[in-house]
Amino acid sequence: MSTYTQFVDGSQASFGGDEFIFVEVATDMDLEATLRVIALTDAVSSAEISGVTDICPAHVSYMVRIDPDIRDPREVLPILEEIHERKAQESKLVIESRIIEMPILYQDPWSHDVLMRFRDRHQDPNASDLEYCARINGFASVDEFISAHSSRLHIATFVAFMPGNAECYQLVPKDLQLEAPKYVRPRTDTPDRALGFGGAFSTIYPVQGAGGFQLLGRCAVPVYEAKQPFGPFETNAVLPKGGDIFKYRPIDMGEYEEIRQQVEAGTYKYRIGVLEFDLSRFREDPIGYPLTLAEALP
């Protein structure tokens, strides 16, 4: 049960023991492959296949878990193959999405204090994470890097590791991607709601814990809230979903404190807009199309 099965769209499927089917859509990070994974896993979920207990999408692959007491995983493989064939025949790759504004205090004191405690694990012990990211991406100052990072939209391509964690890819052409390596050795501490940056991906840490992404700032609002649900958390403790698009809005300390008071009181209202993301339109105009998406924010 360890051999690969190749689908008509080029994806490769393999079995993991007697419970899992792993499907690799592509081998390299690619926005089209990521959106295909989202569209495919949405279709698998909608099919309500008996025996399937979990569907876990990643950047360019996904895994399906099957209860072998209900159904033999070998019976599920042809169903997945049919879904892949059907989706491959669609002329446009469009996914249902949301755009969510996240207020970010870049250069916040909490993340800065933490990152300075772990300089021995960093590529440049003599610079802060922001100073390092600015320099290796060719910016003359931290402010210029912050402006570039916050000016682009970021699409969630991998929701995993822990509830609320979403790695987000920049919606810009590949030659304009900002990039930075992860720490040489991971930190044993990261503040909750810290904005991390590693590879070409950004993420907001949902809870305090270990981490290896460069630390850029801290979000004023949570991406995971189970203790005191409010707003979107009244129906789901986790905010991000695959395909969500995030707009990081820089704020100062005064606004950060005001928003934190609203969050603690349960009165903060997230700015969330519903939209469709059309890959072909992004390919045609990767600079202008994201600007039209931002208009969906209320």
Beta strands (DSSP E) in 67-153 are 94-106
User: What pTM, to 2 d.p., does this model score?
Assistant: 0.88
List every span in the chain annotated with CATH 2.40.100.10.
96-294
List every span in the chain annotated with CATH 3.30.1360.40.
5-90
Q: So what's the pLDDT on residue 167?
A: 94
Q: So what's the pLDDT on residue 32?
A: 85
Return d(Cα 71, Cα 75) in angstroms, integer: 7
Q: So what's the pLDDT on residue 162?
A: 86
What CATH code is assigned to 96-294? 2.40.100.10
The CB density around residue 261, as the number of other CB atoms within 10 Å, is 11
What CATH code is assigned to 5-90? 3.30.1360.40
Q: So what's the pLDDT on residue 59?
A: 86
Mean pLDDT of each 10-residue bin along the chain, 298 residues long: 80 93 90 88 94 92 96 95 91 89 98 97 97 98 98 91 91 94 97 97 97 98 95 96 96 98 98 95 94 95
Rg (CA), the chain: 20
Q: So what's the pLDDT on residue 169?
A: 94
Q: So what's the pLDDT on residue 2?
A: 47
Look at residues 156, 173, 203 and name the one whose alpha carbon lies nearest to residue 59: 156
Q: So what's the pLDDT on residue 251?
A: 98
Q: So what's the pLDDT on residue 174?
A: 87
| Cα distances (angstroms) measured from residue 287 to each of 35, 152, 153, 172, 284 | 18, 9, 10, 7, 9
